[in-house]
Structure 1
Amino acid sequence: MKTTIKRHNKVLWVSLIILCVSCFGIYFSLNPAFRSVEENALDIMFRLRSSAGSEPVPEVVIVMVDEKAIADDFGYYDPLPRRYLARLIDTLAAKGAQWIAIDIAFYDRLNMLDAAGDSLLLESFKKAGNVMSVSIWHQNDEGELYIQNPDSFFMAGLKGVGYANLQVSGGGGLATVREVKPIATVPDGQTHLAFSSLMYCLHSGMRFDDFIQSVKNDIPLTKNGSMVINYIGPPAEWKKQTDGYWIQTKEGSIVTYRSSRLTGEASLPAELISGKLVIIGNGSEFVPDRFVTPYYSGSNWMYGAEVHANAFLTMLHKTYIRNGSMILLAIFLLVLTSLMALVTVRMGFAAEITIAIILTLIAWTTAYLLFVHKGIWLPVMSMTLAVWLSYFAASIYQAITEERGKKQIRNMFARYAPPAYVDELVKDPSKLELGGEEKEISILFSDIEGFTSMSENLSPRELVELLNEYLGAMTQVIFQQGGTLDKYIGDAIVAVFGAPLPQNEHALHACYAALEMQKALAELRQKWNQKGLPQVRNRIGLNTGKVVFGNIGSDIRYDYTAIGDHMNLSSRLEGANKNYGTYCMISEFTYNLVRERVIVRDLDVIVVKGKSKPVKVFELIGRANEPLSAEQRKLIELYQEGIKLYRSRNWQEAITKFEQALTYQHTDEPSKLYIRRCKEFLANPPGDDWDGTYHMTSK
């Protein structure tokens, strides 16, 4: 009976979680404060769609006026010389441009700069007979709109004007252009067209009144009356050369030229312009008419002319972006949250995270496909948030209902198991079963030098006190570097890094722990010296590799530990320090992971007892960000030169280098060792098959 009640309660709570989280998802999708997050997601959709690649559209050509095209003839470029614009329009008209749309304002006449320039420009407008330009709307103190048109002198030659205002939003930290108002109504009741709307009407032959009606009936608009621009792709990217000319470094989704290519000597063929809508914009590097769009990544701004072209193409191709219906969103939310909640209360952590990621990918994939193929904008961030809220809510429920079982496990094992091990058991009780998992970790073996003889000179009480203080200090250092104490073996310490919990840069943390252990022991030696206690030194061996880590033993008794060849190699390296007179030896497997972060010197290539494969070993000296003294650097430099000579069988020259190294530190044991070896090889040269490998005969 109790089991049935618990089951019903569980179903009730999980159902409540699904319903509440789904409602939260709908709330977030409607919340204006969350819109910027959804807009950022829409930007990602645009970039993903464009990464597939597409051919430039055939209907539009953009011409950007640059400084090089005008500086030589006029000596100035701001404001743009009207005489030059007249010449550009004549060129485009002669090449057969169907419509010429100028995204440059003509609010004033410039007779003071060029007496004939305005007249020439008006003449070009009339001669071409297909030119349109821009106006701009402003808001007065009461929030009402009013339109600023071009000077009446130029209006006589234009086929129409449209306001160039674009809608910006602050999502992503930078004001981004994602929308345009197709029409705007001023207080006197007159309705004006956007520049892109004007281009669409003239290009398609639609009456303005018919277009205004279609905006109200056919074009999906946001709450503020804006149309989301369905950008067809990123803009062209340009680089200015030293000679002032611009070169295109990356082709855009709309064919774009610089005006210097049209009015200069290298004129473009007419077929590239003929029959197309040509949009002229100011392409100066100093112009403020540049915007952040979904494709912005730090430098690839989109000029206003390019934004208007994308808005025009959205209308021309009728590739409008619509918000998904609430019913569709509710269905998706219920399905996603139900799956996530059910998985969370039934499976383990790894499966939960995996399913959460999969459901997130499903949400994004579905939203992307609807966006690309249907022009539907689903609030994918709200859906993603709902998935993870469902996971966290179900996890909290699961944690509350299972807390008693976790307390039982903690009470059973906390007294004799490492804390990290207990935490693993609490998260996944299945680890109580025998067995282990293979993982790469770093292993540290440490042992006190001459502990047996030292113990003979101390009373049992003194020995225990010294050993406890030593083990406590060394273990503390290991914990500070994120290591796990595997076991004590008398005076020996076995620690692992990267298990049972994963650890980034575990090899580096193991090296830092070894160096800090030596520093901590040096401080203890000073303290013990004042008490008349022996001078204690320890030897450390470090190795990195794959081991089996987990419960090892029998059903009666087992340990949570690691086994494998790399564990054994760590122990052998600790002992190998005796042969070289060193106190911290690391294997090549550890060194390869930390080579840029620590200071080492090459010790040897050895084959440890019981093994057949040689291993290159190094003495760990310090951290890379802690520079050595001049004497230490010179010692290592001469020593390394000696090692190279030794391995190339130049015994006598190697002896000279090692002897020079000893002048900087006369107690350097590795140098002394190699002097002895070189002398032995001078007396009894090795065979031709000698490869420099040294075989250890003891542990």
Structure 2
Amino acid sequence: MKLARKCQESRPCSVLIMTAAVWVLAAPLFLFGWSQNLELILYDRLLKLRAAQAGEADDRIVLIGAVEKDINRFNWPLPDGVLAQAIERIEAAEPAVVGIDLYREQPRPPGHEELVAALTKYPNIYGVKRVADAKGQLVGGAPILEKAHRVGFADMTIDDDGVARRGLLFMSDGKTHSAALALKMAMHYLRAHKIRPTKSEQNSHWMKLGETTIAPLQSNDGGYLGMDSRGYQYLVDYQDTPKGFFTLSAVVDGEVPPSLLKDRIVLIGAAADSVKDQFITPFRFDADEPYRYGFMIHAQAINQLLRMAQEGTGIVRPVHQWREWVWIGVWALLGALIGGVKRSVAQVALLGGLAALIPVSVSAVLILPGAGGYWLPSAMATLMFLLAGGGVLGVNSALERQQRAALFSLVNRLVSPQVAEEVWSQRDAILEGGRLQPRKQVATVLFTDLESFTSTSEDMDPSTLMDWLNQYMQAMAQQVLDHGGVVDKYIGDAIMAVFGAPLASETEEAINSDARNAVQCALAMRRVLSEQLQPQWRESGLPPLNMRVGIHTGELVTGSLGHSQRMDYTVIGDTVNVASRLEHLKIDLALDGPERVCRILISEETKRRLAEDVRVQTLDEIPLKGKRHLLTVYRVLEGSER
């Protein structure tokens, strides 16, 4: 614990130790992949933000979907003859390239000959195959297209949470290497623009399209941990995706204007839920888009490849793993620094909460195409920030509670609990060496005493006496606390209270307020004694004694006084003596009612600080014991309460 205290006094020490501890505790999140789900969920949100910054949907790509009505009309699997009719309609409009996301390894009569003829006739048509289905079996493409090398695979990589975030450019079944349908169609389209894939200068095994190098995704890139990175994978950005489509019936019936197909990339696929070709995307949280059909995702991949080649955008770049660790470490360190700030827990929590948004905000900016399209693991950065900050804050708070308890064991012997709280909040300014710093200040002192207490109490048994006196003290002391004063001490049946200490009032207005609070406290004491205590005492057979109050405002000295084993907070000076003399002053006054119950005398210095609505009676100049000069004394009249 001594080492912990020394470390707490050295902020760099506590910050570095907690940062290291958080790294050790957070290691399982990385080693066992527990952080991956957090990162991927946040990545989906960032990708949605990136897509929102995109322009309109890519009009170079036209989608044609076989909906439920088409299936009811033509049957399913779609007959080859219907597909041949659709191809002829599309090709008549002179499209740039046509993709058919429908398996045609086996004939689907009637009309197989017509389909083979159409596929042979038009060299810009590409079909699909599956390198491995759910059972690990190959699904081939249309034989005529296989011979012409115009078949691409439609396989997709699905993350453990069922979301399609990654795309494939190349893959192998162990015997042959294959290219994706999207890549084949994009390359066909780009050849007309004299763009061909090349080897990257950074790595000869990496592909380059235009000015964009596509680095294959590795198993621990971005927020992934131990991901299956076989094949040539990349991150699909789902930007500028064409969402609308024409139905197959509209194409077959000639309802699609040829101008909308000319020089376009046309993709045909299933858009019916009964076909089971739907995939969950990072936009799954959108109520209007819980999933997308397979041919739509292929269209997205084509769009992304075109942007890479022609615009230099479209790539989402996970940073290298060592940079991820540095990024996360910086935020862990920053969290520890903020957690060590000497502020209240609420302030640190607010500051930390706002700062915790920064990693996500930075990631949201960097993932935008204009900022390079970088994916930083902001979920772990935020989590490490909060853990480190919370850890330092927790350790410091625990040690501070111990210090507070030690200080309060001293302070509570000096002042009331309320003032002790204020002393704690301003401890750096008013404490020195575990004691309240002595200081000279202006405050108001109030003395109370019960008339004839000594003679009355002589005949009372101890238990009754103490109960009676404690009832009185409890009621009067409560009024002091309620009016912002401090009970300095109890002297027999007398109470000494101070208004404006130990936290000094620095302005005239504050000093005036202390004087007013003292007078209002005395008036409240009068009311409590007259209306509550005396009636109760009479009913209990106890003597209904009256009380006297003396109040004076002036300079005094405050501080801790006594032995290290027994310390008291007190105020000393002539102001204390004057207030005591006013309370003890023997003067003949014709008093009745509440004023007889509680006589309140104040000095001229106190009177000049009161509001005009406080009614007083001047008692002329009166000599006080120990004072060389006469003192003008005032009596506070009934009806001055506020």
Distance 1:124 1:329 in 2: 52
Shift of 1:150: 2.2
1:386 alignment partner AA = M
- Aligned partner of 1:262 in structure 2 is 251
2:353 equivalent among 347, 351, 357 = 357
Distance 1:20 1:27 in 2: 13
2:279 equivalent among 283, 291, 302 = 291
Distance 1:80 1:425 in 2: 81
- Aligned partner of 1:321 in structure 2 is 316
- Aligned partner of 1:126 in structure 2 is 120
Q: Is the 8 A contact 2:103 2:127 kept in 1?
A: yes
Q: Is the 8 A contact 1:220 1:320 kept in 2?
A: no
- Aligned partner of 1:553 in structure 2 is 484
Give SS of 2:398's match.
helix
2:335 alignment partner AA = M
| 1:195 is the counterpart of 2:181 | yes
1:160 alignment partner AA = R
Shift of 1:274: 1.3
Shift of 1:425: 6.5
Number of aligned positions between the proteins: 406
Seen in structure 2, the aligned counterparts of structure 1 residues 227 and 327 have a Cα distance that, compared at 3 Å, is: same
2:139 alignment partner AA = Q
Equivalences for residues 370-381 of structure 1 within 5 A: 370-372=366-368, 373-381=371-379
Give SS of 1:391's match.
helix
Seen in structure 2, the aligned counterparts of structure 1 residues 110 and 551 have a Cα distance that, compared at 3 Å, is: farther
Equivalences for residues 569-584 of structure 1 within 5 A: none
Shift of 1:285: 2.8
Give SS of 1:367's match.
helix
- Aligned partner of 2:14 in structure 1 is 13
Distance 1:23 1:84 in 2: 63
Equivalences for residues 101-500 of structure 1 within 5 A: 101-111=99-109, 114=110, 117-138=111-132, 147-152=138-143, 155=146, 160-171=150-161, 175-188=162-175, 190-205=176-191, 213-215=205-207, 218-223=214-219, 224-225=229-230, 226-233=232-239, 253-254=242-243, 256-264=245-253, 267-297=255-285, 298=287, 300=289, 301-318=291-308, 319-346=314-341, 347-372=343-368, 373-408=371-406, 429=425
Shift of 1:309: 1.7
Equivalences for residues 663-682 of structure 1 within 5 A: none
Distance 1:163 1:38 in 2: 29
Equivalences for residues 601-640 of structure 1 within 5 A: none
Q: Is the 8 A contact 2:329 2:381 kept in 1?
A: no
1:227 alignment partner AA = Q
Gaps of 5+ in 1: 235-251, 434-487, 490-549, 559-699
Gaps of 5+ in 2: 220-228, 309-313, 430-473, 476-480, 487-497, 501-642
2:362 alignment partner AA = T
Distance 2:367 2:26 in 1: 19
Seen in structure 2, the aligned counterparts of structure 1 residues 7 and 393 have a Cα distance that, compared at 3 Å, is: closer
Higher relative contact order (CA 8 A, sep 6+): 2
1:130 alignment partner AA = N
Distance 1:22 1:327 in 2: 15
Q: What do residues 326-370 of structure 1 show as CA deviations (whole Å, max 9, x unaligned)?
A: 454344334433332222222222221222222222111111111
Q: Is the 8 A contact 1:336 1:359 kept in 2?
A: no
Give SS of 1:177's match.
coil
- Aligned partner of 1:44 in structure 2 is 45
Distance 2:327 2:198 in 1: 40
Shift of 1:207: 7.2
Equivalences for residues 492-531 of structure 1 within 5 A: none
Q: Is the 8 A contact 1:99 1:278 kept in 2?
A: yes
Distance 1:207 1:370 in 2: 29
Shift of 1:79: 0.9
Q: What do residues 391-433 of structure 1 show as CA deviations (whole Å, max 9, x unaligned)?
A: 22102211331131343588788xx999xx99x979x9579x9
Distance 2:482 2:360 in 1: 40
Give SS of 1:148's match.
coil
Equivalences for residues 53-132 of structure 1 within 5 A: 54-69=55-70, 71-72=72-73, 74=74, 76=75, 78-111=76-109, 114=110, 117-132=111-126
Seen in structure 2, the aligned counterparts of structure 1 residues 139 and 165 have a Cα distance that, compared at 3 Å, is: closer
CA RMSD after TM alignment: 4.2
- Aligned partner of 2:599 in structure 1 is none
Scaled by the length of structure 2, what TM-score is found? 0.55
2:187 alignment partner AA = C
Q: Which has the larger radius of gyration?
A: 2
Shift of 1:60: 1.7
Distance 2:207 2:54 in 1: 31
Give SS of 2:340's match.
helix
Q: What do residues 424-463 of structure 1 show as CA deviations (whole Å, max 9, x unaligned)?
A: 979x9579x9xxxxxxxxxxxxxxxxxxxxxxxxxxxxxx
Shift of 1:253: 4.3
Q: Is the 8 A contact 1:322 1:377 kept in 2?
A: yes
Percent of aligned positions that are identical? 18
